[in-house]
Amino acid sequence: MITRRDAGLGLLASASLLSGTLSAAAAPAQPIDLPKPALRGTPLADALRARRSTREFADRPLPLPVLSGLLWSAFGINRPQSGDRTAPSWRHAIEAEIYLAMKDGVWRYEPAGHRLLPHLGEDIRAETGVQDFVGPAPLNLVYVADGARMGNTPAEDKRLYAFTDAGFIGQNVYLFCASEGLATVFRGSVDRDRLGRTLRLGADHFVTFAQTVGFPKG
């Protein structure tokens, strides 16, 4: 596996990081601590009114403070004492993992540290879906389940519950995006086996859904 760390892409924070975005030019090989999540506090009713799927995205990366709020809303820790999350999970399995496919490579969200862990130093955005808008969009979230966390349940049930759990995360992302004026669409049209291989997932892991996020176009 060629990870960003293996590729030795540099250890220093880049100018783009200092300005609050990630870029392809000088991505660090180190985890990135996300700023404390700060949500706008939009009333739930307004977010529900604004929630929609959008398939056109501006060619602009998401600043780190936006990624922070997005990921915390998606599946961050909302009860620090227990480590419990903003979305429910079947039998408290907490099997969902979130990968971020961006221009500069692939990262994995680590809720415990509220940070991004470098995963792959490749731009795989186009492989996260089958629709034309996916490749150029600044961010594609890939929802992955760790089946090992789901015990001895039959494989078919694991898939059923893992896909359900990912849907709750997707709705959190929809509501965050509605609240923050971002564009998003949850996606089931994914070549899951191919994407799992591209992500070099372990044998117990499988892709459930993807979700594109960005600033609206125009």
Give the footprint of ligand FMN on this chain (CB under 6 A): 52-53, 55, 131, 185-189
42 three-state secondary structure: coil
- Of the pair 19, 189, the CB lying nearest ligand FMN is at 189
CA dihedral sign, ordered 201, 9, 130, 170: positive
- Of the pair 117, 173, the CB lying nearest ligand FMN is at 173
CA distance 2 to 29: 12
- Of the pair 116, 142, the CB lying nearest ligand FMN is at 142
- Of the pair 118, 206, the CB lying nearest ligand FMN is at 206
Nearest distance from C-beta of residue 106 to ligand FMN, angstroms:
20
Nearest distance from C-beta of residue 184 to ligand FMN, angstroms:
9
Question: Do the Cβ atoms of 162 and 194 come closer than 8 Å?
Answer: no
**Strand ranges in 121-165 using DSSP code E only, listed in sequence order:** 139-146
- Of the pair 72, 186, the CB lying nearest ligand FMN is at 186
Nearest distance from C-beta of residue 152 to ligand FMN, angstroms:
27
Nearest distance from C-beta of residue 136 to ligand FMN, angstroms:
15
Nearest distance from C-beta of residue 71 to ligand FMN, angstroms:
20
Question: Do the Cβ atoms of 18 and 131 come closer than 8 Å?
Answer: no
Residues with Cβ within 8 Å of 9's Cβ and at least 6 positions away in sequence, in order, are: 26, 27, 28, 29, 121
